[in-house]
Amino acid sequence: MSFSYLNKIKLLLYLSGIALVISSCASKSFYIPAAAGNDVSYLPKPMESDSIKVKNYISASLSGVSLPRNTGNIDLGFLNISRGHTFKNFNVAYGIYGFAGQTSYDQEFNNGKAELNGKGIYGGGLRSSIGFYDNAGNAEFRIISWDNSLSFENGSYATFRQEMYNLHASNIISSTKNSLYTTGISSEIIWHSKRNWDNHFAFKLFYGKSIGLNKSLENFAAGNTPKGGAFSSSFYIKLKNLFGIVDVNFNKNSGGKLSLGYAF
Interval 114-144: pLDDT, tens: 578 889 999 999 999 999 999 988 999 999 9
Left (φ > 0), alpha (ψ -120 to 50) or beta: where does 171 sit?
alpha
pLDDT level of residue 10 (50, 70, 90 thresholds): very low
Tens digit of pLDDT for each residue in 177-229? 999 999 999 999 999 998 899 999 999 999 999 999 998 988 765 556 667 89
Predicted pLDDT at 13: 44
Q: Which ranges constitute the DSSP H helices of 27-173? A: 156-166
pLDDT interval class at 171 (50, 70, 90): confident
CA-CA distance, 181 to 210, in Å (whole number)?
A: 6
DSSP states along 166-184: HT--TTEEE----EEEEEE
Q: Indicate the pTM of the whole model.
A: 0.84
pLDDT at 1: 47
Closest among 29, 31, 40 to 253, alpha carbons compared: 31
Exposure class string for 157-178: b at 16+ Cβ within 10 A, else e: bbebbeebbeeeeeebbbbbbb
pLDDT at res. 80: 98
Separation CA 53–CA 85 (nearest Å): 6
Q: Which CATH architecture has domain 2-263?
A: Beta Barrel (2.40)
Domain boundaries, the chain: 2-263
CA distance 71 to 56: 38
